[in-house]
Structure formats: C-alpha cells, structure tokens
Amino acid sequence: MNWKSFIVGMTVGMAAAYITTDAVTKSHYLSGEEVLNMTKQHFKEKMHITGSWINMQKESYSKGNQSYLVYKGGINAKNQKEHAVIEFIADSKTGNILDYYPIKI
C-alpha cells in the first residue's frame, strides 16, 4: 500500500464520519421551549394567549398504533369575553400537536 492510497482512504473516511455525525445531530428532539412557541403560534391564530406552560420532561404517549415521546403543556387564552384553559400533547421531534382538550374551570 502506498502513501497516496492511505491518505485518500483516511480523507474519505473522515468525510464520511463528518457527514454521518452531521446527519445524526440534525435528527434531534426539539426543546420544550421550541414546542411551546410552536403551539402558541398555532393557537394565537384563533384566540388571544394570556399564559402558557409546558412540562420539560418528555413522556411516552401512544395514539393509534404509533408511539411518541411528547411534551405536555397548557395554554391560557381569552376568546372575546370567555376565558379558556387548553391542555395539549405535542410530539417532541416535530412539534406537531397530537391531542388537545379544554379544561373547565
């Protein structure tokens, strides 16, 4: 084996390792704060947000035949003269709202 082949092999290996590492780190989970901001944007279109909260620990959640790691949280909102509290469950990878329901106060 000559040095040129060795150096080319090392360079290709290092490039492959870099690309793989970059791809793996991009498939990360969103932070609870990112998911909360996405959820607030969703509900902001329909009502005035007065407060919000989120549990920062991810939990397992099943819907249909799918399993997810989710964040659970809530939105306090005012729609005209009515006050509403809405709890939500959002996917920690995509931020999509999987389920939500109003809480009677």
pLDDT tens digits in sequence order for the chain, 105 residues long:
676 666 666 676 666 666 666 555 555 889 999 999 999 998 888 888 999 999 999 999 998 898 999 999 999 988 777 888 999 999 999 999 999 998 876
Domain shared by 55 and 98, yes or no: yes
Per-residue burial over 36-59, b = 16 or more CB atoms within 10 Å of its CB, e = otherwise? beebeebbeeebebeebebeeebe
Domain shared by 2 and 40, yes or no: no
| Domain count of the fold of the chain | 2
Domain shared by 17 and 44, yes or no: no
Q: What is the CATH number of the domain that holds 98?
A: 3.10.450
Provide the residue range defining the domain that includes 16.
1-28
Domain shared by 37 and 81, yes or no: yes
Domain shared by 54 and 76, yes or no: yes
* pTM of the model as a whole: 0.70
CA 105 to chain centre: 28
